[in-house]
Structure 1
């Protein structure tokens, strides 16, 4: 069974990067940090794959498209 990681940990990791990240780069970064089989949860969702959680981030405007990648949308971050 894979470890369940709070999505804020992935958002923090994305926010630490100096350049926009593609989905493939986010996948590699997440696998390096949390393991290839990590699943993510939020207060609304549970058991999300990396693709699912990034889609959720975009829908909730937690990350914003920039060029061919994504950046953290600091203006739309919750504080919990």
Structure 2
């Protein structure tokens, strides 16, 4: 059975001090922390793969991509 983790945990990884991630390194960090089979949920979505969560966060501009680098967008994050 896969672990279910809130998407905010990934945002918090991006917000961590001195954190600098590419798409590849972020996925590696998520797999190292939660395992290969992790699924994510948000306030409105359930059972998301890492790729689906990332697409969701990019679409809602909660994360931004600049070339290979990905970062959390503090202005678009909810506060719960």
Assess same fold via TM > 0.5.
yes
Total equivalences in the alignment: 80
* Change over 3 Å in CA distance of 1:31–1:68 after alignment to 2: same
Within 5 Å, which residues of 2 pair with 1:24-63? 24-63=24-63
Classify the secondary structure of the residue corresponding to 1:40. Answer: strand
TM-score normalized by the length of structure 1: 0.90
CA offset digits 1:12-37 (Å, max 9, x no partner)? 01211635422211110101111111
- 1:14 and 1:51 map into 2 onto residues whose CA distance is 15
What's the TM-score once normalised by structure 2's chain length? 0.90
- In the alignment, structure 2 segments of 5+ residues that lack a partner are none
Partner of residue 68, structure 1: 68
Q: Which residue of 2 aligns with 1:2?
A: 2
Contact in 1 for aligned 2:39/2:47 (Cα 8 Å): yes
Query: CA–CA distance in 2 between the matches of 1:75 and 1:12?
Result: 14
Contact map agreement 2:2 2:39 (CA 8 A) in 1: yes
